[in-house]
Amino acid sequence: MTQRISIQEIPAALMTSLGKIGAYLKTCNIDQKLLSLLYYRASQINGCACCLDIHHKESIHYGDTQVRLHGVIAWRESPYYDAKERAALAFTEALTNANQQDIDDTIFDDLTAHFTTEEITELTMAIATVNTWNRLNKTFRTTPGHYKVGQYA
């Protein structure tokens, strides 16, 4: 697989805009370990090898375990996730698959049991952003395996 476009070739204004969203999400009220797990799950759904590499390393950095990361593809059948994580994972899947799946009242009501309105908007932006990165990296064929935790900080 040959990389088509490097991150350095993306117009600086676009990278700055995405960077500002990323910087906000690093300081939001949602636990970074949870966000990283959600990024990992969205990247699995989208088949983005580069983002899987990044978010696997980030998840481990934030204290997640190999067992939970390997099991997240089958989170509904796995005992490793609490109710809050399950609500966020269901929402992540629904939003990532919004062209095929509605974000129905059950999914949203589960979110409101665990997250504030502000946190739900942050979750929505976080999931939308990782989906954007998945699409950029898949289109550009960004080569996975070189990410070092914190290199984009």
Query: What range defines the domain where residue 78 resides?
Result: 30-140
Please state the domain count of the chain: 1
Residue 68 lies in a domain: yes
Band of residue 8 on the pLDDT scale cut at 50, 70, 90: confident
First to last CA, the chain: 27
Residue 30 confidence (pLDDT): 98
pLDDT single digits (tens) 75-98: 999 999 999 999 999 999 999 999
In a domain, 8, yes or no: no
Give the pair of three-digit tokens for residue 3: 């990389």
CATH code of 96's domain: 1.20.1290.10
> Can you read off the two tokens belonging to residue 80?
């490793």
- Does some domain include residue 25? no
Q: Which two tokens stand for residue 47?
A: 């088949």
Residue-wise pLDDT tens digits, 107-147 = 999 999 999 999 999 999 999 999 999 999 999 999 898 89
Within a domain: 96:
yes
